[in-house]
């Protein structure tokens, strides 16, 4: 594996192309696209962004590395309100004969956020298993 991020990204792309495409024609087209990305500088920009993300994630400063937990708490709280607190409060209000109407949240937005957060959590778990997690 190459040490330089750009070369490593290109090598990884080549390995993925070999595994994903079966026909030689498709492989050639995919390699050409990868070369175009490399030559246009887009691959370098993507690689640089990955490096910035790694540095941010390694920071112990809450305002740099704390956005992931913050979004996780918001997502968890919103889902708890939508799926547990809201229905329970509505049921209790009906039992005591004082009905209430709670605002309805956008479940599609919550689901999208949840899936993203689960993906980040999964990546973090893989980092911990591989021993590359900072904490």
Q: What is the pTM assigned to this prediction?
A: 0.41
Long-range contacts of 67-73 (CB under 8 A, 24+ apart): 68/117, 68/120, 71/113, 71/117, 72/117, 72/121
Alpha carbon of 80 to those of 85, 106, 111, 135: distances in Å?
6, 13, 13, 28
pLDDT tens track for 96-119: 998 888 887 777 887 787 788 778
CA atoms of 78 and 57, how far apart (whole Å): 24
Q: Extract the tokens encoding 134.
A: 């900072």
Highest mean pLDDT among 38-42, 48-52, 94-98, 112-116: 94-98
**Ranges of H-type helices in 21-106:** 24-40, 42-58, 62-65, 67-80, 86-95
């Amino acid at each position: 594996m190459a040490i330089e991020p750009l070369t490593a990204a290109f090598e990884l792309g080549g390995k993925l192309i070999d595994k994903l495409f079966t026909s030689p024609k498709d492989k050639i087209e995919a390699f050409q696209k990868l070369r175009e990305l490399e030559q246009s500088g887009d691959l370098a920009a993507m690689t640089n962004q990955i490096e910035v993300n790694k540095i941010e994630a390694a920071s112990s400063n809450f305002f740099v590395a704390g956005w992931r937990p913050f979004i996780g708490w918001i997502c968890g709280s919103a889902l708890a309100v939508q799926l547990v607190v809201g229905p329970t409060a509505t049921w209790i209000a009906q039992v005591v004969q004082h009905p209430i109407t709670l605002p309805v949240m956008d479940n599609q937005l919550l689901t999208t956020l949840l899936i993203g957060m689960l993906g980040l959590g999964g990546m973090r778990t893989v980092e911990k298993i591989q021993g590359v997690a900072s904490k």
